[in-house]
Amino acid sequence: MRRILVTNDDGYFSPGIIALGRALEPLGRVTIVAPQTEASAVGHALTLRRPLRLEQVSEHVYAVDGTPTDCVNIAIDEVLDGRPDLVVSGINRGLNIGDDVTYSGTVAGALEGALLGYQAMAVSLKSTPGEWDFEPAAGVARALAAILLEKPLPNRTFLNVNVPLGPVTGIRVTVQAKRNHITQVDRRLDPRQRPYFWIEEAMDEWEPHDQSDRQAIADGLVSVTPLQPDLTDHKALTLVDGMTRGLVPASFAKAGPTS
């Protein structure tokens, strides 16, 4: 029987991960290993300076007091009785699109799966002001999981799936949108008059792009972006090579006093 590892960054108790686990059950043996408390926006963090605890919550559900990346590693080394056929992270409360994927703990869970050599996918649902309904996104996750199990992606490639609100009407393969980052840091004073800070999600200024994940969601379509861990800007190799070609050992010597 196939082994499917499910994680997230919202916590093992999140309705999104419960819906995802249930949706994947027909495809294999589902084991949930997820953070004990919410770990959204922790990115690909790995906990190295404190011990991690693993708690079995129910027969197939485990909680780790760490990050999604911690969860994937502990799941594979300590919980599963063999290699997972698929790692699925989600269903996140809120989209993980464009440049924001670099902050996402949800995407990092899938990224870790891909780095370790497994088929992997992250699934996120657009935020709603009303009741959360994870069922349409869970159906998308099951359909795509079935495909990955039958036709695996190349090594180190994984899927970032984002689902709009409402019934699913279609799917589009996308690229990451680019956002002009205007982060606002709000400075306030505590009762002892010492400053503290809140990072605000400031104005979103997205570059328009017909094939972007953001545009797919705006058009009411499921967005599927193939991602890879390699952040190398391959088209800049020649440029940087030219910039650095004049450097010789003497260039790195301690600078003397300028006359």
Positions that interact with Mn ion (CB under 5 A): 9-10, 40, 92
**Token code pair at residue 25:** 């059950």
CB of 136 to Mn ion, least distance (A): 18
Tokens of 144: 């795509």
The smaller minimum CB distance to Mn ion, of residues 40 and 176, is found at 40
Direct distance between the N- and C-terminal alpha carbons of the chain, in angstroms, rounded to an integer:
75
Smallest gap from Cβ 10 to Mn ion, in A, equals 4
Q: Minimum distance between the CB of residue 92 and Mn ion, rounded to whole angstroms?
A: 4
Beta strands in 102-170 (DSSP E): 120-125, 158-163
Nearer to Mn ion, 18 or 27 (CB): 18
Residue nearest to Mn ion (CB): 40
Residue 85 or 106: which CB sits closer to Mn ion?
106
Structural contact between residues 28 and 107, judged by C-beta atoms closer than 8 angstroms: no
Contact 222, 140 (CB under 8 A): yes
Instruction: Using the minimum distance from each CB to Mn ion, give the nearer residue, 92 or 225.
Output: 92
CA distance 31 to 5: 5
CB 46, min distance to Mn ion, A: 18
